[in-house]
Amino acid sequence: MSTRERRAEIIRVLRAKTRTRISYLAEYLNASERTIQRDLLVLTAEDHFPITTIQGNQGGVILTELHHPHRNIFTREQNETLMEMHETATPKQRAIIIELLKAFGKILSGGFDEH
């Protein structure tokens, strides 16, 4: 199983279960717990999946209810419009636009500097 396939399977498991454990994912995917932890980090930081880990007896890994894979996405036109607005925005508005694009859109190649 490739890294990409493993990460897709992690998301599929998290969508199907309310909560799971890293140890379960590691066993299920035939990977080390450290590999699963790295995958969760990438899925959260780079792919922007709202994954939460909770420590303790009642802990585990969850995909928060904020995740709606087909609803929280900007269209290409909406992305481009926000990028155009970014050019004339105030610094505060620019920060908000960047937050929106990171959360629901994509900063397209040839995009803008985040500062």
Number of domains in the chain: 2
- Torsional class of 79: left (φ above 0), alpha (ψ -120 to 50), beta (otherwise): alpha
Q: Provide the domain limits for residue 105.
A: 73-115
Q: Are 55 and 84 in a shared domain?
A: no
Q: Are 45 and 88 in a shared domain?
A: no
Report, as an integer, the average pLDDT of 44-56.
83
Q: Are 79 and 53 in a shared domain?
A: no
Q: How far apart are CA 82 and CA 35, in angstroms?
A: 36
Report, as an integer, the average pLDDT of 88-105.
85
Q: What is the CATH number of the domain that holds 55?
A: 1.10.10.10
Residue with the bigger pLDDT between 110 and 78: it is 78
Q: Are 13 and 47 in a shared domain?
A: yes
Using one digit for the tens of pLDDT, what is the confidence trace for 57-71?
Answer: 877 898 876 555 555
For residue 114, list its beta bridge partners: none
